[in-house]
Structure 1
């Protein structure tokens, strides 16, 4: 994201609270309530215009769908990154275990092949040294 995201002048909670307050005013409408309604309407319109202005700043932000699943599940969405890191570390340990197993297998295979095919393994090691030196 090349642009820095501007600060939201009002939080979504403030916007929701404003709508709730407006619904209370409408339900308890009286003669003096008209000025309150007009003020609340104007505040709501300004708030929505501010949100619309900020829309272009966050259009290219990608939120993984799993974050919404965290929210729907009642979990803190900030824990998503922590859980992703833990999963990546677990997978990394698993892959490193596989790599170590293959290295041990290769070493054991070379030892056994040296016992069974000593001449061929001597030639293999000579060719391998030449290849390593050339690269």
Structure 2
């Protein structure tokens, strides 16, 4: 029974975790807007969510066992510490600069702010979805308070 409850929240929890991670990435870009040679990064949210929705423990790309979101190719590998099991580090990609700066910084502050605002709205929507699921569950169990 508890496994079914956990599975019912997994998709929303994965989306929330990825939205939070993207906020960190975008915040890092914004805070480094004046850092010479800083390269703005981001990741494809849809691709990351699809990767997170694959059965935990295996990667379909090469069927390697996973530990904490990291592929284990040898028994001597040290286990990673990623409690959510979602890793976006390998998915981070450099953004193409529309207007390169003289100091080789690729952060476009307007683009970053827009992405940050959009991600914030979507994060809040994911949070509302989880809250709705919890309210529906409480109602089904007879304690709709």
Q: Which has the higher helix share?
A: 1
Q: Which has the higher strand share?
A: 2
Structure with larger RCO (C-alpha < 8 A, sep 6+): 2
* Same topology, TM > 0.5: no
Q: Give me the TM-score of the superposition, normalised by structure 1.
A: 0.29
Q: Give me the TM-score of the superposition, normalised by structure 2.
A: 0.27
